[in-house]
Amino acid sequence: QVQLVQSGAEVKKPGASLKVSCKASGYTFNKYAIHWVRQAPGQRLEWMGWINAANGIPKYSQKFQGRVTITTDTSASTAYLELSSLRSEDTAVYFCARGFDVDSPKDAFDLWGQGTMVTVSS
């Protein structure tokens, strides 16, 4: 079954760091990209960055530059999102998504993980 399965919900204190995993199955992991998108309560989807699973090269939204790291473990068909210096505004559902046309403007996100709820609270 073609799917992305994410790690479970997290509760973090302000200033802490977060690491969310996204395990792919049912397709060749290194032929696609993995994007990370978050959605704060009642808000629009917000793109955070992506990684080319073929070469491991990431690209980040300027908004998160310096706080975000996206990596892959191709042997485990898994992508990871790390976000540091958490603040209350980072409370959101974090999604991973597969991009099917790597590094092309014709790309779209055709497969999504189930989402990981992250709550940042003291």
Partner 1 sequence: DIQLTQSPSSLSASVGDRVTITCRASQRISSYLNWYQQKPGKAPELLIYVASTLHSGVSSRFSGSGSGTDFTLTISSLQPEDFATYYCQQRYSTPSFGQGTKLEIK
Q: For residues 17 and 75, what is the distance between their CA atoms, to the nearest angstrom?
A: 25
Q: Does 10 bind partner 1 (CB under 8 A)?
A: no
Selected range binding partner 1 among 22-30, 69-77, 78-86, 97-105, rule: CB under 8 A? 97-105
**Taking the CB of residue 116, how many other CB atoms lie within 10 A of it?**
21
Selected range binding partner 1 among 12-20, 24-32, 73-81, 98-106, rule: CB under 8 A? 98-106
**Shortest Å, Cβ 33 to partner 1:** 11
User: Site size for partner 1, by CB under 8 A?
Assistant: 20
Scanning residues 26 to 85, which ones bind partner 1 (CB under 8 A)? 35, 44-47, 61-62
Closest CA to 81 of 54, 114, 58: 58
**Shortest Å, Cβ 61 to partner 1:** 6
- CA distances (Å), 54 to each of 15, 33, 112, in order? 32, 8, 19
Closest CA to 100 of 90, 92, 110: 110
Determine which residue in the list 53, 95, 118, 120 makes contact with partner 1, applying CB under 8 A. 95
Phi, psi dihedrals of residue 33, rounded to the nearest 5°:
-105, 160
**Taking the CB of residue 118, how many other CB atoms lie within 10 A of it?**
20
Residues in contact with partner 1 by the rule CB under 8 A: 35, 44-47, 61-62, 95, 97, 104-110, 112-115
